[in-house]
Amino acid sequence: MNQPISITAISSISPLGFNKEDIWKNYISKSHFFTEKDGNLVAQLPTNAKQEIEKLRQSNSKYKQLDDSVLFGIFSAREAIKQAGWSAKDNFGINVGSSRGATGLFETYFESFLDKNKAETLSSPTTTLGNISSWIAHDLQTKGPEISHSITCSTALHAILNGVAWLNSGMCDKFLVGGSEAPLTPFTIAQMQALKIYARKNDDFPCRALDFDKTENTMILSEAAATACLEKGKTKKALAYIEGIGYGTELLEHNASLSTNADCFQRSMTMALGDSNPDDIDIIVTHTPGTIKGDVAEYNAINKIFCNKIPSLTTNKIQVGHSLGASGLLSIEMAILMLNHQTFIDIPYLEQSHPKKISKIMINAVGFGGNAVSVILSK
């Protein structure tokens, strides 16, 4: 890190809600927010959040043609820049990515194509991955750089990586970063089931992320968007500071798996730590999607790096599942809430010590094939 970066605002819309009070209340409730949709466990937006998205959709004739992933992103971005006090004339950069993009709209258009043997007029421009950042920039009327990308489940933390790089380069003073995902569609769920990683049991904890004794995979898909406002240096209004950031990749052994000891995570965590003492990390918000191999691989990597003192481990996936490209920013939000409330959100079935103070938190994310990012936040 050339210099600290301030996170001056963060906003999300997820199964936890869309305002900070409700989100925090739902975190500390220890409840999960899974329901059944077409016979499959999913984590959906609550009714009041769906109503807000529908109001947004009806507010502009052009928005009626947009996928939920775009609308989620616009909704979250509006609130984030409002919190930060930014305006369009600031010409801030935008990097909001997605693992899947306009999944629901693409499936709808493809069904129509199979039926008519003809594509709808707007089927191409409304289903590109660049749609999210482009429409956010349009909605906010900013003229700064806009970037979209897909690095599967580490997409949102790669957006932070990009934002930090732009700020450190001096080419921008402010950057809006995030991820948005609306994956609760028949084909996307079927894809996860084909990989044999999807949860099948509806019990007290359907997603057993960070349960290292589980005997079956328990990943559950979620819809969500989250965006954060980044500014150079340490500002008085900062919710948290980015003190370290790292990335790592590894050779593909399988399209969807990590190496046994998650070499990519070892690289990303080592880079994020830099010269700082690993013992200073109080908490790690893990990626752990609830799969047997994925959870154990990340834990093995943590053991390698934090061999003297394993930080307290937590994840929000036991409550809200996996929102793919948006999940990393939801983890950042969880970390910021724990920092500011000085309260650790524990995992009920994981025996471990709790931090006596919360000063520094590491957040991990990784995508299919081993594209890891680690971020260290402090207050």
Same domain? For 80 and 162 the reply is yes
Same domain? For 265 and 194 the reply is no
Same domain? For 227 and 245 the reply is no
Residue 82 near residue 176 (C-beta atoms within 8 A): no
Same domain? For 224 and 86 the reply is yes
CA distance 86 to 101: 26
Same domain? For 176 and 264 the reply is no
**Sequence-separated (6 or more) residues with CB below 8 Å from residue 105:** 66, 67, 126, 127
CA distance 249 to 263: 8
Same domain? For 132 and 183 the reply is yes
Would you report the helix, strand and coil content of the chain in percent, each value rounded to 5? 40, 20, 40
Q: Tens-digit pLDDT profile for the chain (379 aa)?
A: 778 899 999 999 999 999 999 999 999 999 999 999 999 999 999 999 999 999 999 999 999 999 999 999 999 999 999 999 999 989 899 999 999 999 999 999 999 999 999 999 999 999 987 789 999 999 999 989 999 999 999 999 999 999 999 999 999 999 999 999 999 999 999 999 999 999 999 999 999 999 999 999 999 999 999 999 999 999 999 999 999 999 999 877 665 567 888 999 999 999 999 999 999 999 999 999 999 999 999 999 999 999 979 999 999 999 999 999 999 999 999 999 999 999 999 999 999 999 999 999 999 999 987 899 999 999 9
Which of 232, 266, 291 is the C-terminal boundary of a domain? 232
Which of 184, 202, 232 is the C-terminal boundary of a domain? 232
- DSSP state letters, 97-133: E-SS-SHHHHHHHHHHHHHHSS--TTTTTTSSTTHHH
Same domain? For 184 and 259 the reply is no
Same domain? For 217 and 318 the reply is no
Same domain? For 79 and 158 the reply is yes
Tokens of 319: 């409550």
CA distance 278 to 376: 11
Domain residues for the domain of 355 are: 241-378
Residue 288 near residue 298 (C-beta atoms within 8 A): yes
Same domain? For 224 and 270 the reply is no
CATH number, residue 354 = 3.40.47.10
Same domain? For 150 and 181 the reply is yes
* Structural domains counted in the chain: 2
| pTM of the complete model beyond 0.95 | yes
